[in-house]
Structure 1
Amino acid sequence: MIPGAVFKSALKYEDATRIKVAPFKLMRTPVTNADFLSFVKAHPNWQRGKAPVVFAEKRYLAHWQGATALGPKARPDQPVVNVSWFAADAYCKAQGARLPDWREWELVAAADETRTDARKDPVWRERILRWYSRPSNTALMRVGLQSPNAYGVSDMHGLIWEWTGDYASLLVDADNRKQGDADKAKFCGAAALSMNDRENYAVLMRIAMLSSLSASDVTVNLGFRCAQ
C-alpha cells in the first residue's frame, strides 16, 4: 500500500506545479517470467505466435524457448521483458489490477531505502545514472535482490525499464514525428521542454524512452508491474 501524497513531479503540468496522488497499491517487484508464463498458459491468445501483431510485434517474448517454455535465456525469477504495452495491460487486468500511471510510478521511484523523496541527493542520482550507463544486453538479475525502498518496493531502478498505463501521454510538447521529418529520433529533446527538474536526467531518460515507443513495441529491458 502506497499512501497518498502531494508531490512535485519532474514533469511540468499545466494545471499545477504540485500534484496530488491518491493512495494505491503497487507490486513489490516487477512481474517475472514465471508469472507471465502462468498468464499465457491461462490465456492462450497472448502466447507468442498467437498474439496479433497489432498488439505485440514479432520480437514479443523472443527470448523464451517456446510459446509456453522459458528456457535458459529466461529464468523464472527474472523480470519478464520483450512484452508490449497491450500484453502488460492484459496481464494486469487479468489480476484485477492495472498498470500504474506515471505519477504513481514517479512517486515511488523517488524514494531510496530511507527517504520517500531522495531526488535532491546527488549521490542517489549518481547511483541511478550508473545503471543507465550499462549496456542493454547485460544479463538481468532476478527480482527482489535490491533492498526495498522507503515504501517497501524493490527494483524501481537498476533492473529494467517499466511500462506505465499512460506512457503515451508523457510528451506534453508536440514532437518531431508528426512534422514529416524522417528522423524520428529528434523528438527526444522535446521531453526536456516538459520538465520541471531538468537536472533529473534519469527521469528524462525514462520519459524519452517510453515516449518513443508504440503500444505494440517490445525491448529486451522493458517490463512492468501492476497497481490497484
Structure 2
Amino acid sequence: MLTRQNHNITELHDEQVRDRLAADLIRARDRTKLLTAVDDTELTHQHSPLMSPLVWDLAHIGNQEELWLLRDVAGRDPLLPETVDMLYDAFQNARKDRPKLPLLEPVPSRRYVDDVRGKVLDVLERIPLHGRPLLEKGFAFGMIVQHEQQHDETMLATHQLRAGEALLNAPSAPAGSDVGPAEVLVPGGPFTMGTDIEPWALDNERPAHAVDVPSFFIDTTPVTNGEYLRFIEDGGYDDPRWWHPEGWLHRQRAGLTAPQFWQRHGSTWSRRVFGRDEPLRPDQPVVHVCWYEADAYARWAGRRLPTEAEWEKAARFDPASGRTRRYPWGDDEPSAEHANLGQRHLEPAGVGAYPAGRSALGVHQLIGDVWEWTSSTFGGYPGFRAWPYREYSEVFFGTEHRVLRGGSFGSDPSAVRSTFRNWDYPIRRQIFSGFRCARSPRADEHV
C-alpha cells in the first residue's frame, strides 16, 4: 500500500496538490482491489443484513466518483444509463435490500470503476484547483478519496463478519508498553473545537468555535480486553444497575454477554479475527462493543464516557502554548510511528505501542486502533452549514446517533483527523468500536 506524503495540504502548490491527490486516489483503489480480490460468490453474497454485498460497495464507489468528479466537476455525460444511479443510492436502498437489486455483475462492476478512475485521473491533470468551492485545494477529489476509504473500512467490517477461512493477512500489531499514570488531568478552560483550515474537512467538522470545557480526567489509554474482562467476570452483563434503561432492554433482547466475536472456552477466552480464532490479548483495546456496553462498563468502573468536546480537547489542546493542534502529536500528518491506521494490522495494537502519537497532555492512541464512543449525540456545530450536500451529515443529526472519534486500525489517514466525526446507532458493534473513560474531579480534588 502506498505511503502518504507527510505534508499539510494547505502548504502545497497546485501541482503538489495534484500529485498528492493522485497518490491518495491510487492508494485507496489499491485497498479497494485488495478487499474485493475474492471470487464472484464471495463478492455477490450478503454476509450480514447489516452490510451490503461487496459488489455493491465496489460499484457504489465508482458511481459516487463519477457523479462528483466526472459529471459535476467536469460536466461529462453519464457513462451508464442513469437508472444505475438509483441502484447505488445509499438513501434509496437499505443495506438489507441491496442483494435483491439488479446490480452490475462483478466483471462489469470492475470495468466500470476502472473506466471512471481513468477518466478522473485525466480530469485531475487538467482542471484548475481553484475558482469554485468544490475545487479549492482539490476538495471534491479529497472528498472522494475519503468516501472510498470509508467504504473500504466498511468492506473490512464485512470481511470480519463473513464466515469461513481467512481471506486477508497482515502482520500482528505491536505489543503494548508502560504508559505511566492511568489517567491524566485536562485543565479547564476554552479551546478551539472544529476547523476552518483543513481543506478536505467535511461539513460537520466546521466551523471552528471556542468551547469552554471544565476540568476533567481522562484515561491515558483505551479500555483494554483485560480490563473489560473484569467487568464480565464481575457480572456486569447481568446487573441492570450499570445499564442505560434502553441498553438493558437491548442487552436482554440481543442476548449480549460479551463483545462481539468473543468466545469462552472454559476459563479462557478467544476472539474471532477475520476468519481466525486467536487468544484474547489482554493489552489490546477492546473492540466491537456497542455504546450501551461502553456506557455500562464506565458506570461499573465509577466513571463515564467523555463528551465529544472533552475527547477533542484531550486530543488537540497544548497547555504549554494554549494552542489547538491538528493531531495529538502536533501538526504533522499521521505516520506509522504515530498510529495504527490504514489496515496495516488487522487488529488494535497493545496500549502504549505508539508513544510518538501521544497528545501534549500525555494521552495515548487517540488516533487509530479503535473508534472511541463518546457520550454525545450527533448534531451540527454553531454556524453549521450543510455542504456540498445535506445527506452527508445533516440528515443524521438528532438523538438517535452517538458520536465516535479517532478512527480505527481500519481507517485511512486521509479519512481520520482529530476533528473528524463519526456516528452510529448505540446498538452497533460490527464497527471497529471501543472506548476510553473519563470522570469529573471529586469535591476533595484541587485541580
TM-score (norm 2): 0.38
Would you say the 8 A contact 1:34–1:76 is kept in 2? yes
What is the Cα deviation at residue 190 of structure 1? Answer: 3.8
Q: Find out whether 1:202 has 2:416 as its counterpart.
A: yes
Give 1:32's match in structure 2, choosing from 224, 249, 254.
Answer: 224
Structure 1 residue 137: Cα displacement: 7.0
Specify which structure has the higher proportion of helix.
2
Shift of 1:65: 2.2
Contact kept? 2:221, 2:363, Cα under 8 Å: yes
Per the TM alignment, residue 110 of structure 1 is displaced from its structure 2 partner at its CA by: 1.5
In the alignment, the residues of structure 2 paired with residue 70 and residue 170 of structure 1 have an alpha-carbon distance, to the nearest angstrom, of 38
- Paired amino acid for 2:237: N
Check the 8 A contact 2:193/2:419 in 1, yes or no.
no
Judging changes above 3 Å, is the alpha-carbon distance between structure 1 residues 131 and 143 closer, same or farther for their aligned structure 2 residues?
closer
Deviations 1:34-60 (A, max 9, x none): 10110011125269xxx9672496896
Q: Indicate the percent of aligned positions where both proteins have the same amino acid.
A: 27
Q: Partners in 1 of 2:287 and 2:248 — Cα distance?
A: 18
Of residues 378, 393, 404, the one that matches 1:169 is 378
Q: When the two structures are aligned, how many residues end up with a matched partner?
A: 200
Q: Are 1:20 and 2:212 an aligned pair?
A: yes
Supply the distance in 1 between the matched residues of 2:430 and 2:331 (Cα, whole angstroms).
26
8 Å contact from structure 2 (residues 222, 365) kept in 1: yes
| Rg comparison, structure with higher value | 2
1:156 aligns with 2:389: no
Aligned match for 1:62, one of 244, 260, 280: 260
Contact 2:327–2:418 (8 Å) recurs in 1: no
Alignment of 1:9-158 (within 5 A): 9-10=193-194, 11=205, 17-45=209-237, 54-55=250-251, 61-66=259-264, 69-71=268-270, 72-110=278-316, 117-119=324-326, 124=331, 126-127=333-334, 134-135=342-343, 138-147=346-355, 148-158=358-368
Residues 22-45 of structure 1 deviation map (CA, whole Å, 9 limit, x = unaligned): 100000000000101100111252
Letter in 1 for 2:288: N
Deviation at 1:104, TM superposition (A): 0.3
The AA in structure 1 aligned to 2:190 is V
**Contact 1:32–1:79 at 8 Å: present in 2 too?**
yes
- Aligned pairs for 1:183-202 (under 5 A) are 187-190=391-394, 202=416
Secondary structure of the structure 1 residue equivalent to 2:186: coil
**What SS class does the counterpart of residue 66 from structure 1 fall into?**
strand
- Deviation, structure 1 residue 144: 1.2
Q: What letter corresponds to residue 169 of structure 1 in structure 2?
A: F
Residue type of the partner of 2:282?
P
The Cα of 1:5 is off from its aligned counterpart by 2.7
Asked if 2 retains the 8 angstrom alpha-carbon contact of 1:81 and 1:219, the reply is no
